[in-house]
Chains A and B, each alone.
Chain A
Amino acid sequence: MRLIDSSKTDTLPKLLERNSTTDPRGAGMREKTRGVWQTYSWRDYRDQVRDFALGLASLEFKRADKLSVVGDNRPQLYFAQLAAQALGGVSVPVYQDSIASELVYVLNHAETSIIVAEDQEQVDKALSLKDKLPKLRWIVFDDPRGLAFYEDPILRSFDSVLEEGRKLSQAHPGFYEAELAKGSADDTAMIAYTSGTTGNPKGVMLSHRNMIATAESFLEVNDVKRGDNWLSYLPMAWVGDAAFTLGMALVARLTANCPENPETVQRDLRELGPDAILAPPRIWENMLTIMQVKAGDASPLKRRVFEHFRALAERCELKKTGGEPLTLGERIGLAAGEFFIYGPVRDQLGLRRARWCYTGGAPLGPDTYRFFRSFGINLKQVYGATEASALIACQADAEANPNTVGRPIPSIEVKVDDRGEVLLRGPNVFKGYFKQEDVTRETVTPDGWLKTGDAGFFDKQGHLVIIDRAKDVGKLADGTAFAPQFIENKLKFSPFIREAVAFGHERPFVVAMIAIDMQTVGAWAEKRGLPYTSYMDLSRKPEVAELIGGEIAKANITLPDVQQVKRFLLLNKELEADDAEMTRTRKVRRKFVAEKYASVIDAFYGGKSSADVTMEITFEDGRKSTLSSTIAIHSEAAGEPVRQAA
């Protein structure tokens, strides 16, 4: 019987109750504080959730009320979400790095009545919005640091709410259990706000059924064992974190581990050595860069050994994917490499125990992908969407492939309609957008198919391949199809290109705006003795333009003639979520960028060699300023011989 069919296990807090009964001493959650990993057993975990839930009840938090959490991954913020759900409430996690004006929209739309904030920074933000949030009744803070002299009566400490809860539990024994029993599978568990590449964020309502059934489906085809360690370091407002730290961990009894703070993640990862991990491409790329920098700084002998085994691993990996057998010499070499290089590198990265690693959210460059695979890291692709409870498809160990996203997980049907859009049906399809029934009707067909908005197809072995957002696929002036993301991804595979935005819809040819990668281009410039001061200065160097031109020429070779990038420019600042150019999950907001840089795009096609840009930039604290500058436009003539980049 599936968990969802039993009234004892059909909500997330009920699963917590089950875990605390069947495995009271097992580690439910851990957090690193003061340099030590501190454990909450399943029973401690349940007790905290119960006491906080009762505390919420004493603050008159009722069924269907909304509770928001804002902060880095902290056990208390997970407890608060489950506590709200135990009372039949809804959790609405929000992005901790959102600026105040973004928060106002989400918190108002969600009708949040209680905010649980991690620390002073988040409390300050919440207090500054208080007057604009008529439904807000309480702000509960976890870390009291710096808040001793705050006198606003709306503030409560997390501990004081727990204390209230303990009092209530003595006065009304059995109250929590009764509330818990009232919950059912189709109650809304959380509202996850999509980052919104167009317009305002939309509130995706996910039921307990969505969360639990999706976790069960995923677990059927993935190697997950009870007690496995999971690192909870991705933003809490992102549905993927909820799917694992709450859904998967409660269903399969994994231990969720919260890092000490965002700066220590890499070190905490190494200390913990999780049994499996999910990371977006930028984290994999970052790991690779760090490793290359470290290898470059090593002594010449060590560098040669590393280089030798790296090349060997890559050669063997290519042979393996091509189905060729390895020679005896290669096998012996790999075994030696495992001892000297591959094992220690995996250990340094904290991936020695990881049985599988997923990358998702955006494509990962094939070189990066091959590197990790060749070092014995089981890196695979996963595909999902907020509206599909985070998970749609994933790859089996034997079928890892950077070009596909794998097979749909069990009990989920996926099809591609005649326009090329990916549709799916199953228990992971969300309940609808909160207070936006019209948009829900546009997104889910009457017979239950969810339109993902992604354009894709199934390949010969039955794997799903995603090309682009369906609405972004346009046509060049001569009528040939133009998939901007497809082109951008090819460009972004270059280590020197951090972001790329391609244009070409109803235009004669394709152009691209490039944001260089400060770290790698900076290192490249230093090696050449090329002096520079800032990002802006670096992006203006003709040598850098030539470097990027070479990288684009390389990418062009892999593209059909008409899709090749003919002209490009280097942006003089990085694309920023604070400037609304990207979403908080770092997806380019194409339409917005096109409007912002309209003059540049005209200059591209007008054949000019430079464009004047005036733009507004937003600082982290929300202050704004304007920046005026002239950006040069470069040509990358198609068919030109590839200039060697480095």
Chain B
Amino acid sequence: MSGISILGVANVSKKFGGVTAVQDMSLDVPRGGILSIIGPNGAGKTSLLNMISGFYKPDTGQIVLEGQDITQKKPSDIAALGIARTFQNIALFSGLTVLDNLMLGRHVRMKAGVLASIVYWGMAQKEDIAHREVVEEIIEFLKLQDLRKLPTAALAYGLRKRVELGRALALEPKVLLLDEPMGGMNQDEKEDMARYILDVNQERGVTVVLIEHDMGVVMDISDRVVVLDRGRRIAAGTPEEVQRDPAVIEAYLGTGKGGGRA
């Protein structure tokens, strides 16, 4: 991967009351790669993602996207700048169809005003068609053709995860943050999802930041892995380097004990 980073996190900390969720964290996300963040429960992975996407404001430190400071920006502005995310617990509009959920993902890219949209004429119509084209392309990419008109509530869990990925892609992001996209999936679904993540990265050129517990998947598809423990970064490097790192082995397995979830 090219050494130039697209997203930079510098000395970021976040406390909730007396609990330090993230402490003095720094990391660089190289453009065009897949970076995985791993670590035991409570290590601060999701908190970090929440700060990047603007849901939390860091107490100290700075977050930079392509040279622009986004630390204090609102989530919607950050989304418009090109950071999309999916959630650990699926967050879709369950009564809406797959198509409508994906169209909603286009929302920050829509320009027509309320009145023009109600009349559905001229620019608003043209815009709607253009957005639908983008969404249809994603439907094809994720093989959702047969589900287009189904409410997401009617879908199996693995499919809803795929729809959520689709909605994030509808934003045409530069950086995609995926929070446990394979949690609760069976092996087949995991393999499918891994394939989609690789395709998103390679064919659409989207930089991916991935939180995932399945070590097999992480080691297979990541270019770089960052390991967190108790709010601190304890290791970073290629999958091979990280797997050999004694600090990682200790955080995951404890000292001198076997087992663990890897």
| Neighbouring A residues of B145 by C-beta, 8 Å | 35, 260-261, 263-264
Q: Does B240 contact A (CB under 8 A)?
A: no
Q: Does A267 contact B (CB under 8 A)?
A: yes
Q: Does B220 contact A (CB under 8 A)?
A: no
| Neighbouring A residues of B148 by C-beta, 8 Å | 35
Contact B146 A35 (CB under 8 A): no
Q: Does B250 contact A (CB under 8 A)?
A: no
How far is it, in angstroms, between the C-alpha of A148 and the C-alpha of B146 when the chains are bound? 26
Q: Does A599 contact B (CB under 8 A)?
A: no
Interface size on B, residues (CB 8 A): 15
- Per-residue B-contact encoding for A242-274, CB less than 8 Å = 1, 0 else: 000000000000000000110110010000000
Q: Whole-angstrom distance from the CB of A123 to the nearest CB of chain B?
A: 15
Q: Whole-angstrom distance from the CB of B165 to the nearest CB of chain A?
A: 16
Chain A 128-183 residues near chain B, CB threshold 8 A: 145-146, 148-149
Chain B 54-88 residues near chain A, CB threshold 8 A: none
**Residue in A35, A145, A146 whose CB lies within 8 Å of B136:** A35
Q: Does A33 contact B (CB under 8 A)?
A: yes
| Neighbouring B residues of A148 by C-beta, 8 Å | 202-203
Q: Whole-angstrom distance from the CB of B170 to the nearest CB of chain A?
A: 14
How far is it, in angstroms, between the C-alpha of A33 and the C-alpha of B203 when the chains are bound? 19
Q: Does B169 contact A (CB under 8 A)?
A: no
Q: Whole-angstrom distance from the CB of B243 to the nearest CB of chain A?
A: 25
| Neighbouring A residues of B136 by C-beta, 8 Å | 34-36
- Greatest chain B CB density within 10 A among A33, A34, A260, A267 is at A34
How far is it, in angstroms, between the C-alpha of A359 and the C-alpha of B202 when the chains are bound? 46
| Neighbouring B residues of A33 by C-beta, 8 Å | 140
How far is it, in angstroms, between the C-alpha of A519 and the C-alpha of B145 when the chains are bound? 24
Q: Does B199 contact A (CB under 8 A)?
A: yes
- Per-residue B-contact encoding for A11-36, CB less than 8 Å = 1, 0 else: 00000000000000000000001111
Q: Whole-angstrom distance from the CB of A538 to the nearest CB of chain B?
A: 21
- Per-residue B-contact encoding for A28-52, CB less than 8 Å = 1, 0 else: 0000011110000000000000000
Chain A residue with minimal CB distance to B147?
A: A263
Contact A34 B140 (CB under 8 A): yes
Chain B 135-153 residues near chain A, CB threshold 8 A: 136-137, 139-141, 143, 145-146, 148-149
Contact B202 A149 (CB under 8 A): yes
Contact B139 A34 (CB under 8 A): yes
Interface size on A, residues (CB 8 A): 13
| Neighbouring B residues of A263 by C-beta, 8 Å | 145-146
| Neighbouring B residues of A261 by C-beta, 8 Å | 143, 145-146
Chain A residue with minimal CB distance to B140?
A: A34
How far is it, in angstroms, between the C-alpha of A267 and the C-alpha of B97 when the chains are bound? 15
Chain B residue with minimal CB distance to A148?
A: B203
Chain A 307-341 residues near chain B, CB threshold 8 A: none
- Per-residue A-contact encoding for B22-66, CB less than 8 Å = 1, 0 else: 000000000000000000000000000000000000000000000
Q: Does B133 contact A (CB under 8 A)?
A: yes
- Per-residue B-contact encoding for A194-224, CB less than 8 Å = 1, 0 else: 0000000000000000000000000000000
How far is it, in angstroms, between the C-alpha of A261 and the C-alpha of B142 when the chains are bound? 13
- Per-residue B-contact encoding for A577-609, CB less than 8 Å = 1, 0 else: 000000000000000000000000000000000
Q: Whole-angstrom distance from the CB of B198 to the nearest CB of chain A?
A: 9
- Greatest chain B CB density within 10 A among A35, A146, A264 is at A35
Chain B 166-203 residues near chain A, CB threshold 8 A: 199, 202-203
Contact B133 A34 (CB under 8 A): yes
Chain B 145-164 residues near chain A, CB threshold 8 A: 145-146, 148-149
How far is it, in angstroms, between the C-alpha of A35 and the C-alpha of B134 when the chains are bound? 12
Chain A residue with minimal CB distance to B138?
A: A34
| Neighbouring B residues of A35 by C-beta, 8 Å | 132, 136, 139, 145, 148
Contact B199 A264 (CB under 8 A): no
| Neighbouring A residues of B140 by C-beta, 8 Å | 33-34
- Per-residue A-contact encoding for B115-146, CB less than 8 Å = 1, 0 else: 00000000000000000110011011101011
Q: Whole-angstrom distance from the CB of A387 to the nearest CB of chain B?
A: 36
Contact A264 B202 (CB under 8 A): no
How far is it, in angstroms, between the C-alpha of A35 and the C-alpha of B149 when the chains are bound? 11
- Per-residue B-contact encoding for A382-410, CB less than 8 Å = 1, 0 else: 00000000000000000000000000000
How far is it, in angstroms, between the C-alpha of A149 and the C-alpha of B198 when the chains are bound? 12
Contact A145 B139 (CB under 8 A): no
Q: Whole-angstrom distance from the CB of B156 to the nearest CB of chain A?
A: 14
Q: Whole-angstrom distance from the CB of A463 to the nearest CB of chain B?
A: 40
Q: Whole-angstrom distance from the CB of A350 to the nearest CB of chain B?
A: 15
| Neighbouring A residues of B141 by C-beta, 8 Å | 145
- Greatest chain A CB density within 10 A among B137, B143, B145, B203 is at B145
| Neighbouring A residues of B132 by C-beta, 8 Å | 35
How far is it, in angstroms, between the C-alpha of A460 and the C-alpha of B202 when the chains are bound? 68
Chain B residue with minimal CB distance to A147?
A: B203
How far is it, in angstroms, between the C-alpha of A587 and the C-alpha of B261 when the chains are bound? 47
Contact A146 B203 (CB under 8 A): yes
How far is it, in angstroms, between the C-alpha of A149 and the C-alpha of B201 when the chains are bound? 13
How far is it, in angstroms, between the C-alpha of A260 and the C-alpha of B136 when the chains are bound? 12
| Neighbouring A residues of B133 by C-beta, 8 Å | 34
Contact B146 A145 (CB under 8 A): no
| Neighbouring A residues of B202 by C-beta, 8 Å | 148-149
| Neighbouring B residues of A267 by C-beta, 8 Å | 146, 149
How far is it, in angstroms, between the C-alpha of A264 and the C-alpha of B147 when the chains are bound? 9
Chain A residue with minimal CB distance to B195?
A: A146
| Neighbouring A residues of B146 by C-beta, 8 Å | 260-261, 263-264, 267
Q: Whole-angstrom distance from the CB of A243 to the nearest CB of chain B?
A: 28
Q: Whole-angstrom distance from the CB of A262 to the nearest CB of chain B?
A: 9
Q: Whole-angstrom distance from the CB of A129 to the nearest CB of chain B?
A: 22
| Neighbouring A residues of B143 by C-beta, 8 Å | 261
Chain A residue with minimal CB distance to B199?
A: A146
Q: Whole-angstrom distance from the CB of B142 to the nearest CB of chain A?
A: 11
Chain A residue with minimal CB distance to B148?
A: A35
| Neighbouring B residues of A34 by C-beta, 8 Å | 133, 136-137, 139-140
How far is it, in angstroms, between the C-alpha of A261 and the C-alpha of B203 when the chains are bound? 22
How far is it, in angstroms, between the C-alpha of A145 and the C-alpha of B145 when the chains are bound? 16
Q: Whole-angstrom distance from the CB of B145 to the nearest CB of chain A?
A: 5
Q: Whole-angstrom distance from the CB of B199 to the nearest CB of chain A?
A: 6
| Neighbouring B residues of A36 by C-beta, 8 Å | 136
How far is it, in angstroms, between the C-alpha of A554 and the C-alpha of B136 when the chains are bound? 50
- 16 pairs from A and B in contact (CB 8 Å cutoff): A34-B133, A34-B136, A34-B137, A34-B139, A34-B140, A35-B145, A145-B141, A146-B199, A146-B203, A148-B203, A149-B202, A260-B146, A261-B146, A263-B146, A264-B145, A267-B146
Nearest 10 A/B pairs, CB to CB: A34-B136, A263-B146, A264-B146, A260-B145, A35-B136, A264-B145, A261-B145, A34-B140, A148-B203, A146-B199
Known pairs A34-B133, A145-B203, A146-B199 / 6 extra A-B pairs, C-beta < 8 Å: A34-B137, A35-B132, A35-B148, A149-B202, A260-B146, A263-B145
